[in-house]
Amino acid sequence: MRYLFFLLISALFWHLTNSSVTTDNTKLNQDSVTLKQAAPFPLGVSVDARLLTSNKQYRSTVNREFNSITSENALKMNRLLVAPNQYDWSGGDSIVDFARTTGKRMHGHTLVWHRSVPKWVEAFQGDSIAWENLLKSHIQTVIGHYKGQVKSWDVANEVIDDDGSLRKSIWSAHLGPDYVARCYQYAHEADPNALLFYNDYGQEINLKKALAIKAMLMNLKKRKIPIHGVGLQSHISIYHSDSQYRRGLAVMTSVGLLVHISELDIRLNTKKIKNLAITEDMLEDQEQKYESIVEIYKDVVPKKQRYGITIWNLSDKDSYQLKDCQCPDAPMPFDTTYKKKLAYKGLLDGLRQ
C-alpha cells in the first residue's frame, strides 16, 4: 500500500509540474508583443534561403518577430562564386528581396573568410597580382550587385586567430598581412553608403584575442580605412560568465565603432553529450542568460553605437549547432515547431526593461 501511495503522489506531482509548464508556455505564445516591438534597437535573425522560400511557418515567424535580416550562408563565397566569373545569385536574391518587400534592414554576411572558399579558388594558380584581382573583383561584384539594397556588410570575418595573431589563411598567404585593409577599401569603392563591419568570435571569452582585434581596428581607423562597426558572434552557453561577456563587450565598444551582437545562440550541451537529457533547469538558465546578454548590451554599449542584436537562425531545428555536434541541444528562442520557449521570454524581458 505504501508503494502504491508513493506512485500516486509521484504521478500527481508530475502532472501538476508539467501542467504548469504547459500553461506558462501557452501564455507566452499568446503574448501579442513581438521581439521587434519590444526592442529599443534593431533585432535581427540570420536566415536560410531555402527555408525562407519553402517553409511558411519559418517565413511568417521571421517576418513577425524581427526587423533586421542577416544572410546565414547564401552570400558566402562558395555559395556565390561557383566558377570563375560565374555567380549564382538565387539564394542571396531571395533573402534580399524578402528584406526589401517586408521593410527589414539587410546585413550581408560575409565577403572574406578563411572558410567557405570554393574548391576552384583553393586550386587557383597565379601570382599575388592575380590573387589580388580575384578577391577585389569578388568583393566589388557582390557589393555592386546589391548596391542600395544591403545596408551593411561583414567584410572580413575571423581574421584574428585565438592567440591574437593574424590567422594563416589562403588570403594572408597570397596577399600579405595588410590584405584586410584593402578589402575594406574595395568594399567602400563599390558602395560608399554601405556600413562595413569586422566580425569575429571569442572576444567575450579570450581577452588576448579581444585586445588584438581592438588593436587591428584602431590601426584601421588611424589609417582612415573605411570601417564602421564590429560584430561579436556570441556563440555562447548557459555556463558563460556574465562578467567575461561584459569585459569583452566593453573592449569592443571602446574602439568607438558600431557594435553588433551578430550571431547569438546559447547552447545547453557544451560537452556534446550524445544522450543528454535537457532539463527544465537548463531551459530556465538559458532564459536568464538571454536576458542577461541583452541587459549587458544595453548597459555597456552607448545608444549611438548600438547596431542591434541578431540571433543565428530561428529555431532549435534550424541551428547549425545541432548539425555540428550531432547531439541533443536547444540553443534558440524557438523550439522545433517554432513555438516560443523560455529563452524567448528571457530575450523579450531583457528588451522590455
Q: Which helix (H) or strand (E) holds 109?
A: strand 105-113
- Give the whole-angstrom CA distance, residue 254 versus residue 282: 33
Give the closest residue to 161 by CA, choosing from 231, 94, 228, 208: 208
Give the active site residue among 72, 263, 287, 291: 263
Distance, CA of 77 to CA of 62 (rounded, Å):
25
- Residue 105: its H or E element: strand 105-113
Cβ–Cβ < 8 Å for 295, 245: no
CA distance 12 to 16: 6
Phi, psi of 280 (to 5 degrees): -65, -35
Active-site position among 158, 204, 287, 291: 158
Alpha-carbon distance 74 to 93, whole Å? 9
Is cis: bond before 141, omega within 30 of 0? no
Residue 295 falls in the annotated catalytic set = no
Residues annotated as catalytic (active site), given as ranges: 158, 263
